[in-house]
């Protein structure tokens, strides 16, 4: 155990202490917790380093440094230490994302050397529910996507990502990493869609991060030609039913504050705002 106040890169032997920190906020930390539970703290398997901040020898805060830079249960002093480490290492991530307060502080400290960002989304409501809606019937046509339907779901995933993030996931490596992630979700039974009579995706969503305490619904998308036709709420109710029955007792998501239509749909299905995330996109 460290006896000083300091930060360092965590090692596989620190796994239990790291999981204890992550478990303090199971909903907000679901993304990182799910990765750590599968991969441990080995950087190669985890896809990045886990930085730890120690107060009087106790691990109190974390920061995941991979494709995303994610502060976790981070105190102001921890954020300053993580910013110093990130500045020295140079920017390797495509985004900073996390609870709004700590992510905002991290960005203020990094912006002089890492800026400008392509986009800053400073307030993304975090929404949660643990029960099915009583007045929205799940869409009976929303189902799990099969492994042999990758060619069906992939164009919808690319369209959603491009629309949401502003860049195509097929850029750079030709989409290999993104296709692998979609295939992982399909293979684990966490990709859902409603197909129209032509076999084209009309609605889709995934259960992304998943732990035994919480899961995160992501990638919610309605094909442009089907928007305004009432597919979103029943589709979300169907995915929520799968999430609560098969994955975790609590489902969460976060959404851009300017996406009023989506926020209205999520509230109709029973999601309530419990906090906020922030994303800085490079």
Q: Degrees (nearest 5) of the Cα angle 98, 21, 185?
A: 55
Question: Same structural domain for residues 150 and 211?
Answer: yes
Task: Please check whether residue 125 lies inside any domain of the structure.
Answer: no
Selection from 115, 124, 178 nearest residue 150 by Cα: 178
Residue 30, Cβ density class (10 Å: 0-12 exposed, 13-18 middle, ≥19 buried): buried
Contact between residue 114 and residue 281 where contact means Cβ atoms under 8 Å apart: no
Question: Same structural domain for residues 183 and 76?
Answer: no
Q: Which residue has the tokens 């293979």?
A: 187
Question: Same structural domain for residues 37 and 111?
Answer: yes
Selection from 158, 200, 212, 148 nearest residue 181 by Cα: 158
Domain stop point among 70, 100, 116: 116
CA torsion angle 37 126 216 86 (round to 10): -40
Phi-psi region of 72 (alpha: psi -120 to 50; beta: other; left: phi over 0): beta
Q: Which domain holds residue 231?
A: 142-275
What is d(CA 241, CA 223) in angstroms, rounded to the nearest whole number?
Answer: 22
Task: Please check whether residue 253 lies inside any domain of the structure.
Answer: yes
pLDDT for res 172: 76
Task: Please check whether residue 225 lies inside any domain of the structure.
Answer: yes
What is d(CA 97, CA 106) in angstroms, rounded to the nearest whole number?
Answer: 10
pLDDT for res 3: 52
Question: Same structural domain for residues 108 and 148?
Answer: no
Task: Please check whether residue 188 lies inside any domain of the structure.
Answer: yes
Which residues neighbour 93 within 8 Å (Cβ) at sequence distance 6 or greater? 65, 66, 67, 68, 69, 282
Task: Please check whether residue 147 lies inside any domain of the structure.
Answer: yes
Task: Please check whether residue 133 lies inside any domain of the structure.
Answer: no
pLDDT for res 174: 84
Cα separation values, 185 from 15, 128, 206, Å: 25, 21, 7
Q: Degrees (nearest 5) of the Cα angle 10, 57, 35?
A: 30
Specify the CATH number for the domain of residue 107: 3.40.630
pLDDT for res 5: 73
Question: Same structural domain for residues 107 and 146?
Answer: no
Q: What is the mean pLDDT of each run of 10 residues along the chain (282 residues)?
A: 76 97 97 96 96 95 97 97 96 96 98 96 98 97 98 97 92 88 96 97 97 97 97 98 97 96 96 97 96
Question: Same structural domain for residues 108 and 176?
Answer: no
Question: Same structural domain for residues 83 and 169?
Answer: no
Question: Same structural domain for residues 175 and 51?
Answer: no
């Amino acid at each position: 155990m460290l006896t000083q106040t300091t930060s360092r890169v965590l090692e596989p032997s620190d796994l239990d202490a790291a999981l204890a920190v992550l478990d303090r906020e199971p909903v907000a930390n679901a993304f990182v917790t799910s990765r750590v539970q599968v991969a441990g703290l080995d950087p190669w398997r985890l896809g990045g380093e886990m930085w730890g901040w120690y107060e009087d020898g106790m691990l109190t805060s974390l920061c995941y440094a991979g494709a995303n830079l994610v502060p976790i249960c981070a105190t102001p002093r921890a954020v300053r230490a993580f910013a110093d480490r990130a500045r020295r290492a140079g920017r390797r991530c495509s985004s900073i994302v996390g609870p709004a307060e700590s992510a905002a502080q991290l960005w203020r400290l990094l912006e002089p050397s890492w800026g400008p960002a392509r986009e800053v989304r400073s307030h993304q409501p975090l929404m949660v529910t643990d029960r099915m809606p009583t007045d929205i019937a799940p869409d009976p046509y929303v189902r799990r996507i099969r492994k042999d339907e990758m060619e069906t779901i992939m164009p919808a995933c690319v369209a959603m990502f491009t629309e949401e993030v502003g860049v195509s996931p097929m850029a750079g490596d030709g989409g290999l990493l993104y296709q692998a992630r979609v295939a992982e979700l399909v293979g684990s039974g966490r990709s859902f869609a409603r197909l129209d009579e032509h076999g084209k995706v009309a609605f889709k969503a995934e259960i992304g991060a998943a732990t035994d305490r919480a899961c995160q619904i992501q990638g919610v998308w309605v094909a442009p030609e089907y928007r305004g036709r009432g597919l979103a709420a029943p589709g979300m109710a169907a995915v929520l039913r799968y999430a609560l029955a098969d994955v975790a007792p609590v489902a969460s998501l976060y959404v851009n504050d300017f996406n009023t239509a989506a926020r209205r749909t999520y509230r109709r299905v029973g999601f309530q705002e419990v906090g906020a995330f922030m994303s800085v996109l490079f």
